[in-house]
Structure 1
Protein backbone atom coordinates (compact mmCIF):
# COMPACT_ATOMS: atom_id res chain seq x y z
CA UNK A 1 0.00 0.00 0.00
CA UNK A 2 2.31 2.72 -1.27
CA UNK A 3 1.46 6.41 -0.89
CA UNK A 4 3.42 9.62 -1.48
CA UNK A 5 4.12 10.11 2.21
CA UNK A 6 5.18 6.50 2.67
CA UNK A 7 7.49 6.77 -0.33
CA UNK A 8 8.96 10.11 0.79
CA UNK A 9 9.90 8.90 4.25
CA UNK A 10 10.76 5.38 3.13
CA UNK A 11 8.19 3.75 5.42
CA UNK A 12 6.95 1.45 2.70
CA UNK A 13 10.29 -0.35 2.75
CA UNK A 14 10.00 -1.17 6.45
CA UNK A 15 9.00 -4.72 7.28
CA UNK A 16 6.69 -6.08 9.91
CA UNK A 17 8.28 -8.19 12.67
CA UNK A 18 8.62 -11.93 12.34
CA UNK A 19 7.07 -14.21 14.92
CA UNK A 20 10.44 -14.64 16.67
CA UNK A 21 10.97 -10.87 16.83
CA UNK A 22 7.44 -10.36 18.06
CA UNK A 23 7.92 -12.91 20.85
CA UNK A 24 11.24 -11.33 21.85
CA UNK A 25 9.66 -7.89 22.00
CA UNK A 26 6.85 -9.15 24.24
CA UNK A 27 9.39 -10.74 26.57
CA UNK A 28 11.41 -7.53 26.76
CA UNK A 29 8.34 -5.42 27.55
CA UNK A 30 6.74 -7.87 29.96
CA UNK A 31 7.64 -5.68 32.96
CA UNK A 32 5.30 -2.90 31.77
CA UNK A 33 1.86 -3.15 33.47
CA UNK A 34 -0.91 -3.83 30.98
CA UNK A 35 1.47 -4.34 28.04
CA UNK A 36 -0.15 -7.66 27.09
CA UNK A 37 -3.60 -6.04 26.91
CA UNK A 38 -2.23 -3.30 24.64
CA UNK A 39 -0.47 -5.79 22.37
CA UNK A 40 -3.53 -8.03 22.29
CA UNK A 41 -5.79 -5.12 21.33
CA UNK A 42 -3.43 -4.20 18.47
CA UNK A 43 -3.41 -7.80 17.23
CA UNK A 44 -7.21 -8.09 17.48
CA UNK A 45 -7.52 -4.81 15.57
CA UNK A 46 -5.40 -6.22 12.74
CA UNK A 47 -7.45 -9.42 12.63
CA UNK A 48 -10.66 -7.39 12.47
CA UNK A 49 -9.38 -5.44 9.45
CA UNK A 50 -8.13 -8.56 7.69
CA UNK A 51 -11.48 -10.29 8.22
CA UNK A 52 -13.30 -7.38 6.57
CA UNK A 53 -10.86 -7.53 3.64
CA UNK A 54 -11.42 -11.28 3.21
CA UNK A 55 -15.20 -10.90 3.31
CA UNK A 56 -15.01 -8.06 0.78
CA UNK A 57 -12.98 -10.23 -1.60
CA UNK A 58 -15.39 -13.15 -1.62
CA UNK A 59 -17.33 -13.37 -4.89
CA UNK A 60 -20.43 -14.60 -3.05
CA UNK A 61 -20.44 -11.50 -0.90
CA UNK A 62 -22.20 -8.49 -2.41
CA UNK A 63 -20.04 -5.35 -2.73
CA UNK A 64 -22.86 -3.25 -1.27
CA UNK A 65 -22.88 -5.49 1.81
CA UNK A 66 -19.11 -5.21 2.23
CA UNK A 67 -19.41 -1.44 2.32
CA UNK A 68 -21.79 -1.81 5.28
CA UNK A 69 -19.39 -3.92 7.34
CA UNK A 70 -17.99 -2.30 10.46
CA UNK A 71 -15.99 -3.58 13.39
CA UNK A 72 -14.99 -2.73 16.93
CA UNK A 73 -12.04 -4.34 18.69
CA UNK A 74 -11.54 -5.19 22.37
CA UNK A 75 -8.90 -7.15 24.28
CA UNK A 76 -11.17 -10.23 24.25
CA UNK A 77 -12.08 -10.15 20.55
CA UNK A 78 -13.93 -8.00 18.08
CA UNK A 79 -17.50 -7.15 17.12
CA UNK A 80 -18.46 -7.25 13.46
CA UNK A 81 -21.59 -5.51 12.21
CA UNK A 82 -23.26 -6.26 8.90
CA UNK A 83 -25.26 -8.84 6.97
CA UNK A 84 -23.36 -12.04 7.76
CA UNK A 85 -23.87 -15.64 8.71
CA UNK A 86 -21.80 -17.46 11.29
CA UNK A 87 -20.25 -20.04 8.98
CA UNK A 88 -19.10 -17.41 6.47
CA UNK A 89 -17.65 -15.27 9.23
CA UNK A 90 -15.74 -18.13 10.86
CA UNK A 91 -14.22 -19.10 7.53
CA UNK A 92 -13.22 -15.50 6.84
CA UNK A 93 -11.63 -15.07 10.28
CA UNK A 94 -9.55 -18.22 9.93
CA UNK A 95 -8.43 -17.25 6.43
CA UNK A 96 -7.60 -13.74 7.61
CA UNK A 97 -5.49 -15.03 10.51
CA UNK A 98 -3.63 -17.44 8.24
CA UNK A 99 -2.93 -14.79 5.61
CA UNK A 100 -1.80 -12.19 8.15
CA UNK A 101 0.64 -14.51 9.91
CA UNK A 102 1.74 -15.81 6.52
CA UNK A 103 3.07 -12.40 5.48
CA UNK A 104 0.14 -10.48 3.97
CA UNK A 105 0.59 -7.63 6.45
CA UNK A 106 -1.21 -5.13 4.24
CA UNK A 107 -4.47 -6.74 5.37
CA UNK A 108 -3.96 -5.17 8.81
CA UNK A 109 -4.68 -1.71 7.38
CA UNK A 110 -8.14 -0.64 6.24
CA UNK A 111 -9.15 2.72 4.73
CA UNK A 112 -12.43 2.86 6.68
CA UNK A 113 -10.75 2.43 10.05
CA UNK A 114 -11.65 4.93 12.75
CA UNK A 115 -7.94 5.63 13.13
CA UNK A 116 -8.09 7.60 9.87
CA UNK A 117 -10.97 9.71 11.18
CA UNK A 118 -9.19 10.40 14.46
CA UNK A 119 -6.00 11.25 12.60
CA UNK A 120 -7.86 13.67 10.35
CA UNK A 121 -9.40 15.45 13.33
CA UNK A 122 -6.04 15.75 15.11
CA UNK A 123 -4.34 16.99 11.95
CA UNK A 124 -7.04 19.57 11.30
CA UNK A 125 -6.89 20.82 14.89
CA UNK A 126 -3.09 20.98 14.92
CA UNK A 127 -2.86 22.74 11.59
CA UNK A 128 -5.61 25.17 12.56
CA UNK A 129 -3.74 26.15 15.71
CA UNK A 130 -0.50 26.46 13.75
CA UNK A 131 -2.01 28.75 11.12
CA UNK A 132 -3.75 30.76 13.82
CA UNK A 133 -0.41 31.47 15.47
CA UNK A 134 1.50 32.12 12.26
CA UNK A 135 -0.97 34.27 10.32
CA UNK A 136 -2.05 37.84 11.09
CA UNK A 137 -5.06 38.15 13.40
CA UNK A 138 -7.31 39.69 10.75
CA UNK A 139 -10.57 37.80 10.05
CA UNK A 140 -9.72 37.23 6.38
CA UNK A 141 -6.30 35.80 7.18
CA UNK A 142 -7.71 33.61 9.94
CA UNK A 143 -10.47 32.26 7.70
CA UNK A 144 -7.86 31.54 5.04
CA UNK A 145 -5.82 29.67 7.65
CA UNK A 146 -8.80 27.55 8.65
CA UNK A 147 -9.47 26.71 5.02
CA UNK A 148 -5.85 25.73 4.44
CA UNK A 149 -5.84 23.63 7.60
CA UNK A 150 -8.97 21.75 6.54
CA UNK A 151 -7.66 21.19 3.01
CA UNK A 152 -4.25 19.97 4.15
CA UNK A 153 -5.77 17.69 6.80
CA UNK A 154 -8.11 16.13 4.24
CA UNK A 155 -5.19 15.51 1.89
CA UNK A 156 -2.79 14.15 4.51
CA UNK A 157 -5.16 12.17 6.74
CA UNK A 158 -5.32 8.96 4.62
CA UNK A 159 -1.52 8.61 4.45
CA UNK A 160 -0.91 9.55 8.08
CA UNK A 161 -3.79 7.30 9.13
CA UNK A 162 -2.18 4.43 7.24
CA UNK A 163 1.08 5.01 9.10
CA UNK A 164 -0.75 5.15 12.43
CA UNK A 165 -2.50 1.87 11.69
CA UNK A 166 0.63 0.09 10.52
CA UNK A 167 2.91 1.09 13.38
CA UNK A 168 0.65 2.11 16.29
CA UNK A 169 -2.84 0.63 16.32
CA UNK A 170 -2.32 -2.81 14.74
CA UNK A 171 0.13 -5.68 15.12
CA UNK A 172 0.43 -9.05 13.38
CA UNK A 173 -1.65 -11.55 15.42
CA UNK A 174 1.07 -14.11 16.07
CA UNK A 175 -0.27 -14.61 19.60
CA UNK A 176 -3.98 -15.03 18.87
CA UNK A 177 -6.16 -18.11 18.58
CA UNK A 178 -9.77 -17.83 17.38
CA UNK A 179 -12.42 -19.06 19.82
CA UNK A 180 -16.21 -18.91 19.76
CA UNK A 181 -18.13 -16.74 17.32
CA UNK A 182 -21.59 -15.80 18.48
CA UNK A 183 -24.42 -13.42 17.67
CA UNK A 184 -24.77 -11.00 20.56
CA UNK A 185 -25.23 -7.34 21.45
CA UNK A 186 -22.55 -4.78 22.06
CA UNK A 187 -22.42 -2.38 25.02
CA UNK A 188 -24.89 -0.08 23.24
CA UNK A 189 -27.41 -2.83 22.56
CA UNK A 190 -26.65 -3.14 18.86
CA UNK A 191 -26.71 -6.62 17.30
CA UNK A 192 -23.35 -7.91 16.12
CA UNK A 193 -21.26 -11.02 15.85
CA UNK A 194 -18.53 -11.27 18.46
CA UNK A 195 -15.35 -13.14 17.55
CA UNK A 196 -13.65 -14.33 20.72
CA UNK A 197 -9.88 -14.74 20.76
CA UNK A 198 -7.38 -16.08 23.26
CA UNK A 199 -3.74 -15.26 23.90
CA UNK A 200 -1.08 -17.83 23.03
CA UNK A 201 2.17 -17.44 24.95
CA UNK A 202 4.70 -18.28 22.26
CA UNK A 203 7.55 -18.06 24.73
CA UNK A 204 6.26 -21.10 26.65
CA UNK A 205 5.38 -23.01 23.47
CA UNK A 206 8.84 -22.51 21.98
Structure 2
Protein backbone atom coordinates (compact mmCIF):
# COMPACT_ATOMS: atom_id res chain seq x y z
CA UNK A 1 0.00 0.00 0.00
CA UNK A 2 1.18 3.49 -0.87
CA UNK A 3 1.61 5.79 2.13
CA UNK A 4 0.11 8.65 0.09
CA UNK A 5 -3.21 6.75 0.01
CA UNK A 6 -3.94 8.25 3.43
CA UNK A 7 -4.11 11.82 2.03
CA UNK A 8 -7.23 12.13 -0.19
CA UNK A 9 -6.21 15.01 -2.50
CA UNK A 10 -2.67 13.67 -2.86
CA UNK A 11 -3.75 10.05 -3.34
CA UNK A 12 -5.41 10.74 -6.69
CA UNK A 13 -2.12 11.11 -8.58
CA UNK A 14 -0.66 7.73 -7.45
CA UNK A 15 -4.06 6.14 -8.16
CA UNK A 16 -4.19 7.72 -11.63
CA UNK A 17 -0.55 6.73 -12.22
CA UNK A 18 -1.48 3.15 -11.35
CA UNK A 19 -4.49 3.19 -13.69
CA UNK A 20 -2.25 4.64 -16.41
CA UNK A 21 0.20 1.72 -16.03
CA UNK A 22 -2.62 -0.82 -15.85
CA UNK A 23 -4.16 0.63 -19.02
CA UNK A 24 -0.83 0.38 -20.83
CA UNK A 25 -0.45 -3.26 -19.70
CA UNK A 26 -3.95 -4.07 -21.01
CA UNK A 27 -3.30 -2.30 -24.33
CA UNK A 28 0.06 -4.09 -24.69
CA UNK A 29 -1.68 -7.44 -24.21
CA UNK A 30 -4.13 -6.58 -27.00
CA UNK A 31 -1.90 -4.79 -29.53
CA UNK A 32 1.43 -5.85 -31.00
CA UNK A 33 4.37 -3.44 -31.26
CA UNK A 34 2.65 -0.89 -29.03
CA UNK A 35 4.66 2.23 -28.25
CA UNK A 36 3.09 4.50 -25.64
CA UNK A 37 4.23 7.03 -23.09
CA UNK A 38 2.01 8.06 -20.20
CA UNK A 39 1.71 10.89 -17.71
CA UNK A 40 -0.58 10.95 -14.66
CA UNK A 41 -2.45 14.10 -13.66
CA UNK A 42 -4.83 15.11 -10.87
CA UNK A 43 -7.90 14.23 -12.93
CA UNK A 44 -6.66 11.24 -14.92
CA UNK A 45 -3.75 10.63 -17.25
CA UNK A 46 -2.47 11.25 -20.77
CA UNK A 47 -1.25 8.59 -23.17
CA UNK A 48 0.97 9.59 -26.09
CA UNK A 49 1.07 7.26 -29.08
CA UNK A 50 -0.81 5.79 -32.00
CA UNK A 51 -3.87 3.96 -30.74
CA UNK A 52 -7.61 4.53 -31.13
CA UNK A 53 -9.60 6.34 -28.43
CA UNK A 54 -12.10 3.49 -28.12
CA UNK A 55 -9.21 1.06 -27.53
CA UNK A 56 -7.87 3.33 -24.77
CA UNK A 57 -11.30 3.64 -23.15
CA UNK A 58 -11.90 -0.11 -23.28
CA UNK A 59 -8.45 -0.82 -21.82
CA UNK A 60 -8.89 1.77 -19.05
CA UNK A 61 -12.22 0.22 -18.07
CA UNK A 62 -10.68 -3.26 -18.02
CA UNK A 63 -7.74 -1.93 -16.00
CA UNK A 64 -10.12 -0.49 -13.39
CA UNK A 65 -12.07 -3.75 -13.25
CA UNK A 66 -8.92 -5.82 -12.80
CA UNK A 67 -7.50 -3.48 -10.15
CA UNK A 68 -10.77 -3.69 -8.20
CA UNK A 69 -10.50 -7.49 -8.46
CA UNK A 70 -7.08 -7.32 -6.78
CA UNK A 71 -4.69 -7.51 -9.75
CA UNK A 72 -2.36 -4.96 -8.12
CA UNK A 73 0.71 -6.02 -10.15
CA UNK A 74 -0.75 -4.01 -13.05
CA UNK A 75 0.26 -0.71 -11.41
CA UNK A 76 3.98 -1.52 -11.72
CA UNK A 77 5.63 -0.95 -15.09
CA UNK A 78 9.29 -1.68 -15.94
CA UNK A 79 9.57 1.36 -18.24
CA UNK A 80 8.15 3.86 -15.75
CA UNK A 81 9.94 7.18 -15.37
CA UNK A 82 10.22 6.42 -11.65
CA UNK A 83 12.73 3.69 -12.54
CA UNK A 84 14.77 6.08 -14.69
CA UNK A 85 14.71 8.82 -12.04
CA UNK A 86 15.76 6.31 -9.37
CA UNK A 87 18.61 5.04 -11.57
CA UNK A 88 19.80 8.56 -12.35
CA UNK A 89 19.70 9.60 -8.72
CA UNK A 90 21.53 6.50 -7.47
CA UNK A 91 24.17 6.65 -10.22
CA UNK A 92 24.70 10.37 -9.63
CA UNK A 93 25.11 9.98 -5.88
CA UNK A 94 27.42 6.99 -6.37
CA UNK A 95 29.55 8.90 -8.87
CA UNK A 96 29.70 11.92 -6.58
CA UNK A 97 30.77 9.83 -3.59
CA UNK A 98 33.32 7.91 -5.68
CA UNK A 99 34.87 11.15 -6.93
CA UNK A 100 36.26 11.97 -3.49
CA UNK A 101 39.90 11.20 -2.87
CA UNK A 102 43.26 12.55 -3.90
CA UNK A 103 44.34 9.76 -6.23
CA UNK A 104 43.10 11.11 -9.56
CA UNK A 105 44.41 8.07 -11.49
CA UNK A 106 41.88 5.81 -9.78
CA UNK A 107 39.02 8.32 -9.80
CA UNK A 108 37.46 7.35 -13.16
CA UNK A 109 37.49 3.58 -12.48
CA UNK A 110 35.97 4.23 -9.02
CA UNK A 111 33.24 6.40 -10.54
CA UNK A 112 32.46 3.80 -13.23
CA UNK A 113 32.37 0.95 -10.70
CA UNK A 114 30.22 2.87 -8.21
CA UNK A 115 27.78 3.99 -10.92
CA UNK A 116 27.52 0.44 -12.27
CA UNK A 117 26.77 -1.00 -8.82
CA UNK A 118 24.17 1.74 -8.30
CA UNK A 119 22.50 0.88 -11.61
CA UNK A 120 22.34 -2.81 -10.63
CA UNK A 121 20.33 -1.87 -7.53
CA UNK A 122 18.29 0.82 -9.30
CA UNK A 123 15.69 -1.37 -11.04
CA UNK A 124 14.49 -3.30 -7.98
CA UNK A 125 14.56 -0.09 -5.96
CA UNK A 126 12.64 1.78 -8.69
CA UNK A 127 9.99 -0.94 -8.74
CA UNK A 128 9.65 -0.63 -4.96
CA UNK A 129 9.38 3.16 -5.20
CA UNK A 130 6.55 2.65 -7.70
CA UNK A 131 4.82 0.15 -5.42
CA UNK A 132 5.06 2.17 -2.22
CA UNK A 133 5.19 5.81 -3.36
CA UNK A 134 4.30 6.74 -6.94
CA UNK A 135 1.44 4.33 -7.80
CA UNK A 136 -1.56 2.87 -6.01
CA UNK A 137 -3.87 -0.04 -6.88
CA UNK A 138 -6.66 1.39 -4.69
CA UNK A 139 -9.07 2.71 -7.32
CA UNK A 140 -12.21 2.69 -5.19
CA UNK A 141 -15.22 3.71 -7.26
CA UNK A 142 -13.18 5.57 -9.90
CA UNK A 143 -14.57 5.37 -13.40
CA UNK A 144 -13.60 6.62 -16.84
CA UNK A 145 -15.38 9.91 -17.52
CA UNK A 146 -14.10 10.20 -21.06
CA UNK A 147 -11.22 9.84 -23.48
CA UNK A 148 -10.34 12.76 -25.75
CA UNK A 149 -8.03 12.13 -28.70
CA UNK A 150 -6.08 15.06 -30.13
CA UNK A 151 -2.97 15.81 -32.16
CA UNK A 152 -0.04 17.89 -30.95
CA UNK A 153 2.07 18.21 -34.03
CA UNK A 154 2.76 14.66 -35.15
CA UNK A 155 2.02 13.22 -31.69
CA UNK A 156 -1.35 11.62 -30.87
CA UNK A 157 -2.51 12.38 -27.33
CA UNK A 158 -5.29 10.64 -25.42
CA UNK A 159 -6.57 12.56 -22.41
CA UNK A 160 -8.23 10.06 -20.06
CA UNK A 161 -10.37 11.68 -17.37
CA UNK A 162 -11.21 9.68 -14.26
CA UNK A 163 -13.76 10.40 -11.55
CA UNK A 164 -12.49 11.01 -8.04
Would you say same fold, with TM above 0.5? yes
Q: 1:113: how far off?
A: 0.4
Q: 1:87: how far off?
A: 1.5
Whether 2:95 is the aligned partner of 1:158: answer: no
* 1:182 paired residue among 126, 148, 154: 148
Whether 2:10 is the aligned partner of 1:44: answer: no
Q: 1:22-42 CA deviation, whole Å, 9 max, x = no partner?
A: 9xx96xx5xxxxx43320000
Gaps of 5+ in 1: 1-15, 30-34, 200-206
The equivalences for 1:37-186 within 5 A come to: 37-58=9-30, 61-62=31-32, 64=33, 66=34, 68-133=35-100, 136-172=101-137, 173-184=139-150
CA contact (8 A) 2:49 2:156 kept: no
Q: 1:174: how far off?
A: 2.1
Gaps of 5+ in 2: none
| CA separation of 1:130 and 1:82: change in aligned 2, threshold 3 A | same
Q: What is the distance in 2 between the residues matched to 1:83 and 1:185?
A: 10
Q: 1:154: how far off?
A: 2.0
After TM superposition, the score normalised by the length of structure 1 is 0.72
- Aligned CA-pair RMSD: 2.2
Q: 1:29-67 CA deviation, whole Å, 9 max, x = no partner?
A: 5xxxxx433200000000000000001111xx12x2x2x
List structure 1 runs of 4+ shifted beyond 3 angstroms. Answer: 188-191
